[in-house]
Amino acid sequence: MVKVREIENPDFIEAIARGVDVLKAFGPGKPRMTLSEVAAASSLARPTARRILITFTELGYVRADDGGFTLTPRVLELGMAYIASSNIWELSQPHLQDLSERVGESCSIAQLDGSDIVYVARVAVPKLVAFSVSIGTRFPAVATSLGKVLLAALTADELDAVLATESRSVARAVWSPDRAEIDETLREVRERGWAMTDQQLAPSIRSVAAPVRGADGTVVAAVNVNTHAFETSLETLVDEYLPQLLRTATDIGEDWARWDSLPTKAIRP
> Residue 72 class from Cβ within 10 Å (0-12 exposed, 13-18 middle, 19+ buried)?
middle
Asked whether 136 and 79 are in contact (CB, 8 A), the reply is yes
Span between the terminal Cα atoms of the chain, in Å: 37
Residues 6+ apart with CB under 8 A from 158: none
pLDDT in tens, 64-98: 988 899 998 788 777 766 655 566 667 888 999 99
What is the average pLDDT across 34-39?
95
Q: What is the structure's pLDDT at 232? A: 93
Say what percent of the chain tops pLDDT 70.
Answer: 88
pLDDT for the residue 87: 65
Strand locations in the chain, DSSP E? 32-34, 62-65, 68-71, 106-113, 116-123, 138-140, 195-198, 205-213, 219-228
Q: Is the pLDDT of residue 136 over 80?
A: yes
Residue 263 has pLDDT above 60, yes or no: no
CA–CA dist 165, 167 (Å, integer):
6
Q: With 70 as the cut, is the pLDDT of residue 163 above it? A: yes
Sheet with 106-113, side-by-side order of all strands: 138-140, 116-123, 106-113, 219-228, 205-213, 195-198
> What average pLDDT does range 12-20 have in this prediction?
90
| Cα distances (Å, whole numbers) of residue 114 to 141, 161, 214, 259 | 9, 8, 20, 26
